[in-house]
Amino acid sequence: MKESNLTSKEKAVSAGLIVMFSIISLIALFPVISLVVASLSPATDLMRFGLTAELFFTNFDIENFQTLFSAEAGSYWRWYGNSLIVSGVLIVLSLFFSSMVGYALALYEFKGKRIIFVLVLLILMIPFEILMLPLYTMMINLRLVDSYFGVMLPLIVAPIGVFFFRQYCLGLPKELMESGRVDGCTEFGIFARIMAPLMLPSFAAMAILMGLMSWNNFLWPLVVLRSSDMFTLPVGLATLLTPYGNNYELLFSGSVMAIIPIIILFLFFQRFFIAGLTSGGVKG
Amino acid sequence: MEKAVEGTKTKKRRSSILYSKKAAPYIFVSPFIISFLLLSLYPFISAINMSFQSVLPGQTEYIGLSNFERVFNPVFFTALQNTTVYVIWTVIILTIIPMIFAVFLNSRLIRFTNFFRAAIFIPALTSVIVAGTIFRMIFGESDAAFANQVVQLLGFDAVEWRYGAGTAMFLMVALASWRWMGVNVLYYLAALQNVSKDLYEAADIDGANIWQKFRNVTFPAIKPIFIFLSTITTINGFRMFEESFVFFETSSPGNIGLTIVGYIYEEGIQRNDMGFGAAIGIVLLAIIFVVSIVQLYLTGAFKKEDE
């Protein structure tokens, strides 16, 4: 890190690396930059030519965003709201349930603990797509098709979350539970009032992960949602992707707006995210 | 000691379930058990059951193995081939390149690492639909679209990206690689934190060159993550659907973008032939299972490490 005692050869390597990663970063950011450029470019040009280099240098206007905020946006804001509701509720529910399960798997001794952990790993390996058709008939029978609850159900106790919290909780001091008992706390009280505060970094990391998963979830909502009014954002945006490209005004400005909540979520929790990945991923 | 404390202080309370150390873990794990029974085990069994049935609205009928006999048709093999090619490319790209990036980013010679890490990670925040939308624009069909301008600048003819088998695969692999690169770099960076500096110093004293240091010090430390990522990338590759959907919706010319999950969606949901769709799913599960076992065996995950 410190360049004070680098040899001249090392300095050259260092400069080379910085140039290389600047190019890589530019490639990584290019599509995102392009999206913003496209959202500020005339839809007619995009429709005819796709995204051209010239568009990066022409005068930008906010016409697409004006359309997005006008009555012509149709269901767009409804989809946005649906996604906010579904993701918000899912983050809260899944953090609550998976942390509870992971906590118990890490810190209690009880019969069947091993089996349950093996089951968690097993579900992690079975592709959701295989369970999708029976779940879909189940939703039909329970009349949950086209409902918020139907969209959320498969993610409420996400095995990835259980696994993650279990790994994290293995590192918590068990002695605190004992002192909680001495002080007359209920077992749930120990979890909620003593241990949960210690788990805050893992809650933050999981909030990002679950937020990403539910905000960007596509296949299941596509299957279970029927009416345009109930679509989540990815499903709604996908309906704008028609072969005729007649919704570009909405598509690009709408896509830019779609990234904003997830960026806010990420910026808010990011300090914990990398630490969380370390404790959850590597020990696996 | 635990017992003594409990015995004296909480004798009365122990009768209450709220204070029971025995009952608590079961209450805590109950959400998982309910969800496992209802949302995993039951659908899993009914998927197997369904695969032997002809499922029509209002009536189901057992038809033995004929769904499975139908699975092995040319369309399925096209989907299988597409998916396999996609898996091979994504596994190669998404395990090796992030490893190289992470090793460089972890080197003491580089600065601005926080910025580079963030820049590489940002694509992971986008949804496939949003990212795919912009990929479609950059790789537009017209001669004037950005990618074609570059291609022409290099002296080649403009390409109709979405309509050729090779270029369609390129688009899908590029989209996935772009989105997941940063996440995998982070995983490797996390693993690299575990490498002790002493080992490098010892290697330096022994006069090891860069490659020897990587082989004998760095790689052993990140091998668990390498195995983890190659397994996960393989499984996710076989489950691919969205990358294809965003470029082709549900039909692509000559099925160049059809994947196995896309085939399940098409048959099971769109054509409402759920028995057949379930049978494809079971075949997919078998493929993933076999490939994962072979892969874990080849990467030595089953060998006992002397850590």
pLDDT tens digit string along B170-222? 999 999 999 999 989 988 988 888 777 788 888 888 888 888 888 888 888 88
pLDDT band at residue B304 under the 50/70/90 scheme: low
Question: What pLDDT does residue B51 have?
Answer: 94
- What ipTM was estimated for this complex? 0.85
Contact B122, A35 (CB under 8 A): no
CB contact under 8 A, A191 and B110: no
For B242-252, the pLDDT digits (tens) are: 999 999 987 88
Q: Give pLDDT, residue A4.
A: 57
Instruction: Give A155: exposed, middle or buried? Use CB within 10 Å, 0-12, 13-18, 19+.
Output: buried
Question: Are A162 and A202 in a shared domain?
Answer: yes
SS3 A129: helix
From the list B39, B130, B140, the residue facing A259 with the nearest CB is B130
Are A167 and A189 in the same domain? yes
The per-residue pLDDT for A282 is: 40
Together in a domain, A236 and A274 = yes
Residue A102 forms part of a structural domain: yes
Tokens 């608590």 appear where? B24
Taking CA–CA distances from B282, the nearest residue in chain A reads: A130
Q: How many residues does chain A have?
A: 284
For chain A, 284 residues long, give each residue's pLDDT as a single digit of tens.
444 567 888 888 889 999 999 999 999 999 999 999 989 988 888 877 778 888 888 778 888 898 888 877 788 999 999 999 999 999 999 999 999 999 999 999 999 999 999 999 888 888 888 999 999 999 999 999 999 999 999 999 989 899 989 988 988 888 899 999 998 889 999 999 999 999 888 898 889 889 999 999 999 999 999 999 999 999 999 988 876 656 888 888 999 999 999 999 988 887 776 666 655 544 33
CB–CB contact A243 B249 (8 Å): yes
Residues A46 and A86 in one domain: no
Q: Is residue A246 part of a domain?
A: yes
Size of interface A-B (CB pairs under 8 A): 297
φ, ψ dihedrals at B165, nearest 5°: -60, -45
Of B2, B123, B261, the CB nearest to A28: B123
Q: Tokens at residue A98, please?
A: 């998976």
Beta-ladder partners of B53: B62
Instruction: Output the pLDDT for position A274.
Output: 64
A185 and A246 within one domain: yes
What's this model's pTM, rounded to 2 decimal places?
0.88
Q: Domains plus CATH for chain B?
A: 68-125+169-299 (1.10.3720.10)
Q: Does any domain span residue A168? A: yes
* Residue A3: inside a domain: no
Nearest to A257 by CA among A239, A238, A237: A237
Considering A41, A60, A79, which residue would you say is the last residue of a domain?
A60
Give B205→chain A minimum CA distance, Å.
Answer: 18
Closest approach of B123 to chain A, Cα-based (Å): 7
Shortest distance between the Cα of A132 and any Cα of chain B, in A, equals 8
B54 forms beta bridges with: B61
Q: Which residue of B has its CA nearest to A158?
A: B32
Task: Please report whether residue A26 resides in a domain.
Answer: yes
The amino acid at residue B265 is: Y
Q: Please check whether residue A276 is in contact with residue A169, taking contact to mean a CB–CB distance below 8 angstroms.
A: no
Residues A126 and A20 placed together within one structural domain of the fold? no
The answer to whether the Cβ–Cβ distance between A133 and B278 falls below 8 Å is: yes
Average pLDDT of the segment spanning B77-105 = 95
* CB contact (8 A) between residue A20 and residue B246: no
CB contact under 8 Å between A123 and B36, yes or no, is: yes
State the nearest Cα–Cα gap between B54 and chain A, in angstroms.
Answer: 13
The chain A residue lying nearest B42, using CA atoms, is: A134
**Which residues of B fall within a CB distance of 8 Å from A109?**
25
The per-residue pLDDT for B15 is 52
CATH, residue A175: 1.10.3720.10
Residue A58 is given by DSSP the state S
Residues A24 and A142 in one domain: no
Which residue of B125, B131, B141 is in closest CB contact with A263? Answer: B125
Residue after which a domain boundary falls, among A60, A83, A100: A60
**Does the distance separating the beta carbons of A17 and B225 come in below 8 Å?**
no
| Predicted local distance difference test score (pLDDT) of residue B137 | 87
Token output for A283: 């020990």
pLDDT of residue A281: 45
In a domain, A249, yes or no: yes
Number of domains in chain A: 2
Residues 6+ apart with CB under 8 A from A46: A38, A55, A245, A248, A252, B137
Higher pLDDT, B85 or B206: B85
Same domain, A211 and A121: yes
Angular region, B142: left φ>0, alpha ψ -120 to 50, beta rest: beta
Q: Is residue A1 part of a domain?
A: no
Report chain B residues whose CB lies below 8 A from the CB of A252. 133-134, 137
Residues A17 and A85 in one domain: no
Contacts of B193 in chain A (CB under 8 A): 278
A116 shares its domain with A234: yes
Examine the domain organization and report whether A169 and A141 are in the same domain: yes
A40 with A122, same domain: the answer is: no
Nearest CA in chain B to A161: B32
User: Which residue in this structure is represented by tokens 């089996």?
Assistant: A115
Q: Which two tokens stand for residue A129?
A: 């797509």
pLDDT of the residue at B300 = 75
Q: What is the pLDDT of residue B1?
A: 44
In a domain, A20, yes or no: yes
Contacts of B101 in chain A (CB under 8 A): 21, 24
Q: Which residue has the higher pLDDT, B11 or B143?
A: B143
Task: Name the residue range of residue A242's domain.
Answer: 68-280
* Cross-chain CB nearest to B44 (options A10, A13, A131): A131
